[in-house]
Structure 1
């Protein structure tokens, strides 16, 4: 039968960090509401355009012709 070993120090640290982040987010939301500012909208999604590849001329194996 498997037994629960408990929470490791690393897991405890991550949980505390997550709790702090949640508290900060709540404080920011409350501050935004107090000052009457609108919450930030989702940033628009930009489409990535691939860079054009330069045209290759001649031999590409590094040898000289002639």
Structure 2
């Protein structure tokens, strides 16, 4: 299963990923960086393609995410 993850050191909290996510799985944490809710994320990759800094990556993850 694929899920999105954000590199908070590269993220500029622009909110593009939040607007593009069809599952509303991404929020901006305290104006600092994007946070992905892995329970909502379906790994579609829209956020990864939209991110202007390349901080969001969709990758294969192990089962049993909590």
Give the TM-score category using the shorter length. Answer: under 0.3
Pick the structure with more strand per residue: 2
TM-score normalised over the length of structure 1:
0.19
Larger helix share, 1 or 2: 1
Structure with max Cα Rg:
1
Q: Report which structure shows greater RCO (CA 8 Å, sep ≥6).
A: 2
